C-alpha cells in the first residue's frame, strides 16, 4: 500500500481554486490538507457539512492520521468522475487495497476502514470490508484469532456449547 | 466483553457493529456463523448480517453436509435484519424431505424485503421437478434482481396484473420451460431492463414460441447450447427500446427481432449445425440472415466466424443495410469470410472502424478459398473508415490482398493495426504491408 500526500499544507479557511471551492481538512495529528470540494464530497459526512454550510473553516477529521488521510484523498482523486478512463483501470488500481497479505497490510486496511466509516465513503468502505472478508475466508477459528489478534474470553465449555449450537457451520 | 478488556492489538473487535456487519455480510453465511466462537464480542454479531449465501456444498470435496436444512432454518430463525440485500440459495442436492422447507426460506427473504434473490434448487435427476415460488414474490416491491438457475414456476394470474413492481434484472436458466408462463412473466414486469436467458438441452418436445415482448427492455442476452442440433423453437423479441443484444446459439434457432430497435451494441455467435446443411430447409438456412435483418439499426456489430459461415449459406444480394453502424467486428475464415466482407462494406455507409479477427482454427483448404472481390469501391472507404484492425494475421489465404485493397481505397484512414499470429514471416509481411500504396497519406501503420 502506498501513501501519497496530494495536497499541500497551507492556510486554513475557505479558499477557492478557479471556480472550485477548496476545503481544509485537518487530521488528528495536525496535518492540514486542502481538497477540492467536488472531490471531498465523496464523503457523505463532509457533503452533509457542506450542504449545511458548516464547512467554511477547517474541518477536523478525528481519529484519522495524516498518513491515512493522504490515502483517503488519493482514493477520492482516483474516484473523481473522469479521473480514470475506464472501469477496468480503476479496478486494477483498487486491487492494491483489496487484499491483505500480512499484518502490516491489515493495519493499513483498519486505518482506512475507520476513516471510511467516520467520513462515510461508501466506495472505500466496500473495498475495505471486502478485503477483511477475503482475509477471513478459509481460515479456521484459531487462524482467525492469530491473524486478527483476537483473544478469546470463552472457556472451553462455552466454546464447545457454541460450536454445538451452530454445528453445521463447523463441519468439514 | 467490554471494549477496554480487548487485547491491545485487537483492533478489529473495536470496529463498530456496523462495520463488522458489513464484513460478515460479505462472507458465505457458514463462514459468518463460524465467527461466533472468536470471543464474546463476536458471539451474536452474525445474527445481524443482511446478505445470506447458502450453499449445500455439492461442489465440496468433503461431500454434502447432512444438516443443511437444519442449518438454514436455524440461521433464519435468529436473523435480526429487517432488510435483506442478497439471498443466495444453492441447494442442488436437496432431498425430497427437505424440499418443503425451501418455500418458507424464500418467503422469509421476501418478507424481509430482499433486493437480489438468487435460486438454484435443482434436485430432480430427471429434470422434471420445478420450483414453485411462493405467491408473495409476485408483489414483492423490494426485489430488483432475480436469478433463477433452475426452472421455476409462478402462478401468474391471466388477467393483466402488474407483478414484480421493482424488478429490473432477470437471469434465468431454463431446461423445460413453459413458454406461456415465460410470456406472462415478461409481460407483467413493468420496468424490466435486463434479461438473460441461458438454455441448454431444452427438453421440450413441442415446438415453443418464446414471446419476449418487453417494452422497457434495454439489455437482452441469450445463450443456447451446447449440443448442436437444429432447434424447433422460435424466439420473438419485441423491445423497441433495446440497446444491447447478445445472442450465442448452437442450435440454429429461429430468432425474430421486431420493431428494428436502435441498438448501441449487437453481437451474434450463431452456429449452423455442422454438416446439416443438406437436412436444413430453405427457411432454416436463412435464419441467420433474417436475424441480421432485424438488428440492422445498430451502431456496433460483432459477428463470429461461425456466424459468418451461417450467413454465407444464405448470401445472395440480400444483405440488409446498416445505416447507423460505426463499428464492425468480423470473424474471418478465408473460405467464406472474404466472400462476405465486400457485402458488409457496401452495406455500411457510415462505417468508421473495422476489425477483422482471422480464424485459422480450421486450416484454410485452398480449394475452399474464396478471394476478396469488390466491383466498386464502397462509399464508407472513401468517406468514413478511420481505423482498421486485423488480428491473428498469418499472411495466408488472401490476407495480404485484402490489406492492399483496404489501404489503397480507404481515403480517410488514420490507423491500420496488424497483430500477427506468430513471429514467422513477420518481417516479410511487415515489409510487404509498408510497401503498399496508401489512399490516405496520413495513415499510420502499427504492428503488434
Please tell me which of the candidates B19, B35, B39 has its beta carbon nearest to residue A153: B39
Residue with cell 474464396: B370
Q: Residue A25 falls within a domain, yes or no?
A: yes
Listed by number, the residues of chain B in 62-81 with a beta carbon closer than 8 Å to a beta carbon of chain A are 62, 65, 67-68, 70-71, 74
CB–CB contact A154 B6 (8 Å): no
Query: Is A137 within 8 Å of chain B by CB?
Result: yes
Rg (CA), chain A: 20
What residue numbers bound the domain in which A140 lies? 15-151
Please tell me which of the candidates B23, B40, B71 has its beta carbon nearest to residue A168: B71
State the DSSP code for A166.
T
Query: Is A161 within 8 Å of chain B by CB?
Result: no
Provide the residue-wise pLDDT of chain B in tens; the chain has 448 residues: 555 566 667 888 888 898 999 999 999 999 999 999 999 899 999 999 999 999 887 555 555 566 788 889 989 999 999 999 999 998 877 776 777 788 899 999 999 999 999 998 865 555 455 677 888 898 999 999 999 887 777 777 776 677 899 999 999 988 777 777 888 888 888 999 999 999 876 766 677 888 899 999 999 999 988 665 667 788 999 999 999 999 999 888 889 999 889 999 999 998 877 666 666 777 777 888 999 999 999 999 999 988 988 888 888 778 899 999 999 999 988 777 788 888 899 999 999 999 999 887 655 554 455 667 777 888 999 999 999 999 988 877 688 888 989 999 999 999 999 998 887 788 888 988 999 999 998 999 998 8
Q: In three state form, how does the secondary structure of chain B look?
A: CCHHHCCCCCCHHHCCHHHHHHHHCCCCHHHHHHHHHCCCCCCCHHHHCCCEEEECCCCCCCCCCCCHHHHHHHHHHHCCCCCCCEEEEECCCCCHHHHCCHHHHHHHHHHCCCCEEEEECCCCCCCCCCEECCHHHHHCCCCCEEEECCCEECCCCCCCCCCCCCCCEEEEEECCCCHHHHHHHHHCCCCCCEEEEEEECCCCCCCCEEEEECCCCCEEEEEEECCCCCCCCEEEEECCCCCEEEEEECCCCEEEECCCCCEEEEEEEECCCCCCCCCCCHHHHCHHHHHHHHCCCEEEEEECHHHHHHHHHHCCCCCCCCCCCCEEEEEECCCCHHHHHHHHHHHCCCCCEEEEEECCCCCCCHHHCCCCCCCCCCHHHHHCCCEEEEEEECCCCCHHHHHHHHHHHCCCCCEEEEEECCCCCHHHHHHHHHHCCCCCCCCEEEEC
Tens digit of pLDDT for each residue in A73-111? 998 988 887 777 778 888 888 887 778 877 778 888 888
Q: Residue A133 falls within a domain, yes or no?
A: yes
CB–CB contact A117 B15 (8 Å): yes
Which residues, including other chains, have CB under 8 Å from residue B430's CB and lie 6 or more apart? B447
Q: Residue A6 falls within a domain, yes or no?
A: no
List the beta bridge partners of residue B196: B171, B221
Spell out which residues of chain B touch residue A121, defining contact as CB-CB under 8 Å.
none
CB–CB contact B31 A166 (8 Å): no
Spell out which residues of chain B touch residue A151, defining contact as CB-CB under 8 Å.
6-7, 10, 39
Q: Residue A8 falls within a domain, yes or no?
A: no
Rounded CA-CA distance B420/B270 in Å is 26
Provide the residue-wise pLDDT of chain A in tens; the chain has 172 residues: 444 444 444 444 445 556 778 889 999 999 999 999 888 989 999 999 888 888 778 888 888 999 999 999 998 988 887 777 778 888 888 887 778 877 778 888 888 998 999 999 999 999 999 999 998 988 888 999 998 889 888 889 999 998 888 877 887 5
CB–CB contact B12 A166 (8 Å): no
Number of domain units in chain A: 1
Please tell me which of the candidates B12, B30, B38 has its beta carbon nearest to residue A169: B30
Q: Residue A169 falls within a domain, yes or no?
A: no
Q: Residue A7 falls within a domain, yes or no?
A: no
Spell out which residues of chain B touch residue A137, defining contact as CB-CB under 8 Å.
27-28, 31
Distance from CA of A81 to the nearest CA of B (A): 23
Chain A contact probe: residue of B3, B34, B68 with most A CBs at under 10 A = B34
Q: Residue A74 falls within a domain, yes or no?
A: yes
CA B282 to chain centre: 29
Rounded CA-CA distance B308/B405 in Å is 21
Please tell me which of the candidates B9, B10, B19 has its beta carbon nearest to residue A113: B19
Quick one: which H or E segment has residue A141?
helix A141-148
Question: B131-151: string of b/e by CB count within 10 Å (b at 16+)?
Answer: bebbeebbebebbbbbbbbbb
Listed by number, the residues of chain B in 17-36 with a beta carbon closer than 8 Å to a beta carbon of chain A are 18-19, 22-24, 26-28, 30-31, 33-36
pTM: 0.85
pLDDT reported for residue A13: 46
Rounded CA-CA distance A104/B256 in Å is 58
Please tell me which of the candidates A129, A154, A167 has its beta carbon nearest to residue B26: A129
Q: What is the ipTM of this complex?
A: 0.84
C-alpha grid cell for residue A145? 484469532
pLDDT reported for residue B362: 59
Residue A18 gets the label, from left (phi > 0), alpha (psi -120 to 50) or beta, of left
The answer to whether residues B331 and B303 touch, using CB atoms and an 8 Å cutoff, is yes
C-alpha grid cell for residue A87? 472501469
Planar angle of CA B48, B54, B57, nearest 5 degrees:
145
Please tell me which of the candidates A133, A149, A169 has its beta carbon nearest to residue B10: A149
Rounded CA-CA distance A134/B27 in Å is 8
Locate the chain A residue with the closest alpha carbon to B20. Answer: A129
Query: Is B44 within 8 Å of chain A by CB?
Result: no
State the DSSP code for A167.
H
Q: What is the CATH number of the domain that holds A56?
A: 3.30.710.10
Q: Is B245 exposed, middle or buried (0-12, 13-18, 19+ CB in 10 A)?
A: buried
CB–CB contact B27 A114 (8 Å): no
CB–CB contact B23 A162 (8 Å): no
Locate the chain B residue with the closest alpha carbon to A117. Answer: B19
Query: Is A143 within 8 Å of chain B by CB?
Result: no
Locate the chain A residue with the closest alpha carbon to B24. Answer: A133
Rounded CA-CA distance B97/B73 in Å is 14
Quick one: which H or E segment has residue A16?
strand A15-17
CA A133 to chain centre: 14
CB–CB contact B7 A141 (8 Å): no
Q: Residue A54 falls within a domain, yes or no?
A: yes
Rounded CA-CA distance B128/B153 in Å is 12
Spell out which residues of chain B touch residue A149, defining contact as CB-CB under 8 Å.
7, 9-12
Neighbour tally for A84: CB within 10 Å: 17
Amino acid at each position: 500500500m502506498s501513501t501519497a500526500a496530494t495536497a499541500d499544507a497551507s492556510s486554513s479557511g475557505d479558499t477557492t481554486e478557479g471556480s472550485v471551492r477548496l476545503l481544509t481538512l485537518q487530521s488528528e495529528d495536525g496535518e492540514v490538507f486542502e481538497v477540492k470540494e467536488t472531490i471531498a464530497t465523496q464523503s457523505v459526512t463532509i457533503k452533509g457539512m457542506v450542504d449545511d454550510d458548516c464547512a467554511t473553516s477547517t474541518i477536523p477529521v478525528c481519529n484519522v492520521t495524516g498518513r491515512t488521510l493522504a490515502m483517503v484523498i488519493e482514493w477520492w482523486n482516483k474516484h473523481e468522475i473522469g479521473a480514470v478512463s475506464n472501469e477496468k483501470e480503476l479496478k486494477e488500481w483498487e486491487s492494491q487495497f483489496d487484499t491483505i497479505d500480512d499484518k502490516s497490510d491489515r493495519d493499513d486496511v483498519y486505518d482506512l476502514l475507520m476513516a471510511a466509516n467516520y467520513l462515510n465513503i461508501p466506495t472505500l468502505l466496500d473495498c475495505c470490508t471486502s478485503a477483511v472478508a477475503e482475509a477471513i475466508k478459509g481460515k479456521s477459528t484459531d487462524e482467525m484469532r492469530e491473524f486478527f489478534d483476537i483473544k478469546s474470553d470463552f472457556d472451553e465449555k462455552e466454546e464447545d456449547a457454541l460450536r454445538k449450537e451452530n454445528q453445521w457451520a463447523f463441519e468439514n | 466483553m467490554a471494549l477496554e478488556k480487548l487485547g491491545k492489538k485487537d483492533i478489529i473487535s473495536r470496529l463498530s457493529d456496523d462495520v463488522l456487519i458489513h464484513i460478515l455480510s460479505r462472507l458465505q453465511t457458514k463462514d459468518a456463523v463460524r465467527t461466533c466462537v472468536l470471543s464474546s464480542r463476536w458471539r451474536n454479531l452474525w445474527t445481524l448480517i443482511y446478505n445470506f449465501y447458502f450453499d449445500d456444498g455439492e461442489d465440496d470435496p468433503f461431500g454434502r453436509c447432512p444438516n443443511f436444512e437444519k442449518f438454514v432454518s436455524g440461521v433464519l430463525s435468529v436473523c435480526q435484519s429487517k432488510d435483506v440485500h442478497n439471498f443466495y440459495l444453492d441447494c442442488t442436492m436437496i432431498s425430497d424431505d427437505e424440499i418443503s422447507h425451501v418455500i418458507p426460506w424464500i418467503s422469509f427473504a421476501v418478507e424481509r424485503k430482499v433486493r437480489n434473490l438468487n435460486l438454484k434448487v435443482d434436485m430432480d435427476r430427471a429434470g422434471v421437478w420445478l420450483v414453485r415460488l411462493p405467491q408473495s414474490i409476485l408483489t414483492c416491491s423490494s426485489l430488483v434482481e432475480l436469478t433463477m438457475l433452475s426452472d421455476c414456476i409462478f402462478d401468474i394470474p391471466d388477467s393483466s396484473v402488474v407483478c414484480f413492481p421493482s424488478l429490473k434484472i432477470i437471469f434465468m436458466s431454463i431446461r423445460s420451460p413453459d413458454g406461456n408462463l415465460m410470456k406472462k412473466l415478461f409481460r407483467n414486469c413493468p420496468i424490466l431492463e435486463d434479461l438473460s436467458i441461458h438454455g441448454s438441452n431444452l427438453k421440450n418436445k413441442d415446438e415453443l414460441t418464446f414471446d419476449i415482448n418487453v417494452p422497457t427492455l434495454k439489455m437482452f442476452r441469450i445463450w443456447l447450447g451446447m449440443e448442436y442440433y437444429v432447434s424447433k423453437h422460435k424466439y420473438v423479441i419485441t423491445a423497441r427500446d433495446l440497446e444491447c443484444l447478445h445472442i450465442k446459439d448452437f442450435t440454429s434457432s429461429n430468432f425474430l427481432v421486431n420493431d428494428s430497435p436502435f441498438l448501441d451494441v449487437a453481437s451474434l455467435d450463431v452456429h449452423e449445425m455442422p454438416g446439416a446443411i443438406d437436412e436444413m430447409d430453405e427457411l432454416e438456412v436463412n435464419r441467420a440472415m433474417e436475424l441480421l435483418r432485424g438488428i440492422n439499426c445498430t451502431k456496433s456489430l460483432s459477428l463470429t466466424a461461425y456466424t459468418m459461415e451461417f450467413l454465407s449459406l444464405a448470401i445472395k444480394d440480400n444483405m440488409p443495410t446498416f445505416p447507423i453502424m460505426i463499428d464492425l467486428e468480423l470473424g474471418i475464415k478465408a473460405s467464406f469470410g472474404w466472400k462476405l466482407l465486400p457485402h458488409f462494406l457496401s452495406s455500411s455507409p457510415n462505417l468508421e472502424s473495422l476489425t477483422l479477427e482471422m480464424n485459422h482454427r480450421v486450416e484454410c483448404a485452398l480449394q475452399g478459398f474464396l478471394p476478396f472481390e469488390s466491383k466498386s469501391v464502397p462509399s464508407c472507404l472513401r468517406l468514413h473508415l478511420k481505423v482498421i484492425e486485423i488480428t491473428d494475421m498469418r499472411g495466408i489465404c488472401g490476407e495480404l490482398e485484402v490489406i492492399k485493397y483496404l489501404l489503397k481505397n480507404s481515403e480517410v484512414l488514420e490507423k491500420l493495426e496488424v497483430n500477427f499470429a506468430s513471429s514467422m514471416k513477420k518481417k516479410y509481411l511487415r515489409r510487404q504491408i509498408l510497401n503498399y500504396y496508401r489512399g490516405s497519406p496520413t495513415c499510420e501503420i502499427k504492428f503488434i
